[in-house]
Amino acid sequence: MRGAAHRRGQFPFTILPGQGVVVLPISVQALDQGSTDTRVTSGNAEVDALCGGGFFRDSIVLVSGATGTGKTLLVTEFLAGGVTNGERSLLLAFEESHDQLHRNARGWGYDFKQAERDGVLRVVSTYPEVATLEDHLVEIKRVVEQFQPQRIAIDSLSALERVGTTKSFREFVIGLTSFVKAKQTVGLFTAATDTLLGGSSVTEAHISTLTDSIILLRYVEVFGAVKRGMTVLKMRGSDHDRDIREFSIDADGMHIGEPFRSHW
């Protein structure tokens, strides 16, 4: 572009009805978001204690774990904690339907249908394959601008990862996390691991440096029995519990127990 400065490199874009060409200059966004020491509850007092008193208001928390370890339960408690405190809460679901999520919440004693009627909760459920990552990012931004939530949950990022390339997925996550943090909104994102007894998640490897906190859920084999374990791997700007703790799930939700070293 002769005689003028311009952005260099390649940038994702999409074409939308009523908007035309929408360019997403994700890779040139500045790291100029504000920061706060304000804490909010995770929705579970025992998880709050492990995290040094709850999540920071402007933090992005990644919950990584195998299927059945309790990721969706943590999301449910996180949203219920917001609803209880009168905070507008948004769930973007890419693996389960709207009605399934309501049924799951009822099983743990939370009435998400009533919360939606009261206007403090919104549940948006869609298949990842219905749109490109660029289209999903534009739609997420639209929903957030319209609803103005104070906490956001995404279940799960792993589902979104399969609809794009590694580069496009990382750009999507950069755009998503920077947008959420700029809103001073706490976000809880889930990711699935490939193995049941631990191991790293492909999604986690791509976004772990972009998140402020990581909670790992896994199965642990103890004396021939398989138990669930939780550990807080990272929490920027805060002290946190570093043990791998056994936890259980029942009709009342998640309960954190003692460190696994107490078994030996």
24: tokens are 């997403």
Enter the DSSP assignment of 91.
E
- What's the gap between Cα 148 and its chain centre? 17
What is the predicted pLDDT for the residue at 246?
94
What is the predicted pLDDT for the residue at 28?
46
User: Do residues 44 and 254 make contact, with C-beta atoms less than 8 angstroms apart?
Assistant: yes
In a domain, 16, yes or no: no
User: Do residues 36 and 44 make contact, with C-beta atoms less than 8 angstroms apart?
Assistant: no
Q: Give the model confidence (pLDDT) of 86-103 as tens digits.
A: 999 999 999 999 999 999
- In terms of residue numbers, what domain contains 146? 38-263
In a domain, 88, yes or no: yes
What is the predicted pLDDT for the residue at 202?
47
In a domain, 76, yes or no: yes
In a domain, 14, yes or no: no
All residue ranges of the chain with pLDDT < 70 are 9, 24-34, 195-206, 262-264
In a domain, 4, yes or no: no
What is the predicted pLDDT for the residue at 198?
54
Kindly report the pTM of this predicted structure.
0.86
Q: Give the model confidence (pLDDT) of 161-181 as tens digits.
A: 888 888 888 888 888 988 898
What is the predicted pLDDT for the residue at 1?
80
What is the predicted pLDDT for the residue at 205?
55
In a domain, 24, yes or no: no
Count the domains in the chain: 1
198: tokens are 């631990």
DSSP 108-134: TT--HHHHHHTTSEEEEE--GGGS-HH
In a domain, 153, yes or no: yes
In a domain, 195, yes or no: yes
**Rounded-to-integer distance, Cα 67 and Cα 228, Å:** 11
Overall size of the chain counted in residues: 264
The CATH number for 183's domain is 3.40.50.300
Tokens 């490939």: give the residue: 194
